[in-house]
Chain A
Amino acid sequence: ILNVEQSPQSLHVQEGDSTNFTCSFPSSNFYALHWYRWETAKSPEALFVMTLNGDEKKKGRISATLNTKEGYSYLYIKGSQPEDSATYLCAFNKGGSEKLVFGKGTKLTVNP
């Protein structure tokens, strides 16, 4: 059974705060790690797909890092805005498998 763990489960921050959260996954037989943003009443949208150890991706104020040797990825949001409020999901893909396993997500609420 593949375990993909995300922490914290939920997070409340003030507008302008920077924040980060964690995704943990099996460190063996790694292929790819995905991050998605899921806003209420919408569908999940892809943020990043990361495949290389040490990889860093950035999209506006959101960035992510990847450590495949120890099995974790961080997602960072700089200067949070209310529109960043969403559930952030990570998903793990192991080598030799097409199966993409999602964590339960971190629900971020940014208060104005």
Chain B
Amino acid sequence: NAGVMQNPRHLVRRRGQEARLRCSPMKGHSHVYWYRQLPEEGLKFMVYLQKENIIDESGMPKERFSAEFPKEGPSILRIQQVVRGDSAAYFCASFDRGNEKLFFGSGTQLSVL
């Protein structure tokens, strides 16, 4: 039973480029959360998605950030025109509605040069 898969583990981008972060939830889970961890900070909520539906995006910056979770394929967190302040670890977690626990991926460390 594969866990939550995130890729890539490390992503380096130059300022102005686009970053795409992928998350495949655990088998049978149809809901995912995205969190961002800045240095010396905790996990900050970004967005909560169901397949083909954004349920809560109140933690997403208004510009340059978007997320999707298509019917087929992984959830994608997309950051356009990255800036140095976007450098952080981005974690995805799939949600088990049965026991209401989150199962986290290993994260993607984004570094913007």
User: Which residues of A come within 8 Å of B, CB atoms?
Assistant: 32, 34, 36, 42-46, 49, 89, 91, 97-105
Contacts and interface: CB of A to CB of B under 8 A. Distances in A.
Determine which residue in A32, A100, A103 has the highest number of CB atoms from chain B within 10 A of its CB, and name it. Answer: A100
Chain A binding surface SS class: strand
Contact of B42 (A45, A46, A97, A102): A102
B69 interface: no
A43 B45 contact: no
Contacts, number: 49
Interface of B: 4, 33, 35, 41-45, 48, 55-56, 58-59, 91, 93, 99-107
A49 B100 contact: yes
A101 B100 CA distance: 14
A103 B35 CA distance: 13
